Amino acid sequence: MYGMQGKFTTQPGKRDEFIKILLRAAALVGQLPECHLYTVSEDLNDQNGILIVEIWDDKAAHDAALQDPDVRDLIGAAMPLMAGEPVGSEFTVVGGYGI
């Protein structure tokens, strides 16, 4: 399985609005059988920070989801709320609990 974890930093005071957009994205991709996990979390150490973890069957499934018109619309709505580029990493899931 393919995974991604990342951190978004929003413009001051925009975190709640950004989270609403990400939760809408989670609802969309959560309907796809290739998506196993999509979490949205508030960073407790950064009042403008949001943490995301995604797990997919593979990278191709993740990339295909990004081309969905509804997902593209949400990305477009979120971009102006960001303060800089997201940071994160990709990973291969090798085991554990909860998936």
Tokens matching residue 80: 């102006």
Report how far residue 66's alpha carbon sits from residue 11's, in angstroms, rounded to the nearest whole number.
23
Residue 49's pLDDT is 98
Residue with tokens 């925009």: 14
For the chain, how many residues are written? 99
Report how far residue 58's alpha carbon sits from residue 7's, in angstroms, rounded to the nearest whole number.
21
**Taking the model in full, what pTM does it have?**
0.91
Report how far residue 8's alpha carbon sits from residue 52's, in angstroms, rounded to the nearest whole number.
8
Query: Which pLDDT tens digit goes with each residue over 34-61?
Result: 999 999 999 999 999 999 999 999 999 9
Residue 80's pLDDT is 96
Q: Give the residue-averaged pLDDT of 6-25.
A: 97
Nearest-Å Rg of the Cα atoms of the chain is 13
H helices present in 1-99, as ranges: 15-29, 59-65, 69-78
